[in-house]
Structure 1
Amino acid sequence: MSIRVAIAEDQAMVLGALAALLETENDIRVCGRAANGREALTAIAQQKPDVLVTDIEMPEMTGLTLAGEVRERFPQTRVIILTTFARPGYLRRALDAGARGYLLKDRPAAELAEAVRRVHRGLRVIDPDLAAEAWDSGPDPLTERERQILWRAGEGKSSAEIAAELRLSEGTVRNYLSEAISKLGAANRVDAARIARAKGWL
């Protein structure tokens, strides 16, 4: 029986290359392709793959949010995060969201197929260098709400815009930003967003 795999990747060329790579394996069949997280959820509902391979930074829904949704709604599908971002915070958040694998795109191609097999068997597959770095990097200090607000601030949105989007008061938004800036030892909201992004906390 082939291992049924869905792939979520917003870059069409990369998506095609990943599908072609996995299709060369006799025991793996690509049953779904998606350009973002929402499309991936639809594909999983329809195709019920054994394994989802997903990027992190995608429009509509990030791979980290997608991993959490899959764990809640489709627990039979195991998730592998495949990304260019070697950020310890991303790895921690991916594992917290239920991902079973975390690989970097610069690893040899054969490692992806083997990771699919291992995750399908119920094992966990994590890039070894990143795992060691994550162990040393310390926990993510941000709350989920602080993360939501800081991410929007880093995109250049004003406190008023963030407040309207999240249905909060401007004062509440400023309080969350102040707390996040303090936790990160940052100079301002832009600096805080930069630090958090570099750590993989955004």
Structure 2
Amino acid sequence: MIRILLADDQALVRGALAALLDLEKDLEVVAQVGSGADVLAAVREHAPDVALLDIEMPGLDGIEATRGVVAETATRVLVVTTFGRPGYLRRALQAGASGFVVKDVPATQLADAVRRVHAGLRVVDPTLAADSLVSGDSPLTERETEVLREARDGASVAAIAARLHLSQGTVRNHLSATIGKTGAANRAEAVREAERQGWL
């Protein structure tokens, strides 16, 4: 029996995935959580073989949760997300995920992906893999990404500088660089483009 943990902030999606996976004779959902921040504790408590993680969750996103799970446990991670973005795929694999599929995959394929990940294989949506090769890595540096993330909520330069312990001039420089690299007209557009690409 392959033991599974589900992490998704939408209760309806979690319930549907659990119901579908539980129909399989060799799969058992042993835990469900609605926040990325709860993933590692649940993995430690229930010791699942495979954790299915969404990317966009409150508290901690699925990519950071993946990093923690892979670093501290033997559980393998399969990212299952609505957001099939090349940047997300790259970041998830770099964080240690064994697989990446989108939520509209048929139930039989999802079950097969779980089995393959459990067997130590890598599973990646083929269309997304091709798109990822074409789009390449994020052009943003780690610090630029951090600054742009903080700008998502419309925070002022002063607020971003205070949160990140940077000078306002440094924040302005990073924002200017992100605008240039994303081909945007302003920082709101830069945020939207970086999110669309899965760089944030």
TM range (shorter): over 0.9
Structure 1, 24-33 or 115-124: larger mean CA deviation? 24-33
> Residue 79 of structure 1 corresponds to which residue in structure 2?
77
> Identity rate of aligned residues, in percent?
55
> Residue 143 of structure 1 corresponds to which residue in structure 2?
141
> Residue 50 of structure 1 corresponds to which residue in structure 2?
49
User: What is the letter of the counterpart of residue 25 of structure 1?
Assistant: E
Q: Within 2, Cα distance between the matches of 1:168 and 1:45?
A: 36
SS at match of 2:138: coil
> Residue 38 of structure 1 corresponds to which residue in structure 2?
37
TM-score (norm. length: structure 2): 0.96
Deviations 1:97-140 (A, max 9, x none): 11111111111111111101000000011111111111111211
Q: Within 2, Cα distance between the matches of 1:141 and 1:35?
A: 32
SS at match of 1:59: coil
TM-score (norm. length: structure 1): 0.95
> Residue 14 of structure 2 corresponds to which residue in structure 1?
15
Q: Within 1, Cα distance between the matches of 2:51 and 2:130?
A: 25
5+ residue gaps, structure 2 = none
How far is 1:148 from its partner?
Answer: 1.7
Structure 1, 78-87 or 155-164: larger mean CA deviation? 155-164
> Residue 70 of structure 1 corresponds to which residue in structure 2?
69
User: What is the letter of the counterpart of residue 26 of structure 1?
Assistant: K
SS at match of 1:57: coil
User: What is the letter of the counterpart of residue 4 of structure 2?
Assistant: V
How far is 1:154 from its partner?
Answer: 2.3
The answer on 1:194 being equivalent to 2:183 is: no
> Residue 101 of structure 1 corresponds to which residue in structure 2?
99
How far is 1:200 from its partner?
Answer: 0.9
5+ residue gaps, structure 1 = none
SS at match of 1:81: strand
> Residue 59 of structure 1 corresponds to which residue in structure 2?
58
How far is 1:73 from its partner?
Answer: 1.4
User: What is the letter of the counterpart of residue 48 of structure 1?
Assistant: A
SS at match of 1:30: strand
> Residue 3 of structure 2 corresponds to which residue in structure 1?
4
Structure 1, 154-163 or 51-60: larger mean CA deviation? 154-163
SS at match of 1:133: helix
How far is 1:167 from its partner?
Answer: 2.0
Structure 1, 146-155 or 47-56: larger mean CA deviation? 146-155
The answer on 1:168 being equivalent to 2:166 is: yes
Aligned residues: 200
Structure 1, 174-183 or 121-130: larger mean CA deviation? 174-183
Deviations 1:53-77 (A, max 9, x none): 0100000000111111112111x11
Q: Within 1, Cα distance between the matches of 2:70 and 2:42?
A: 15
The answer on 1:114 being equivalent to 2:112 is: yes
> Residue 180 of structure 1 corresponds to which residue in structure 2?
178
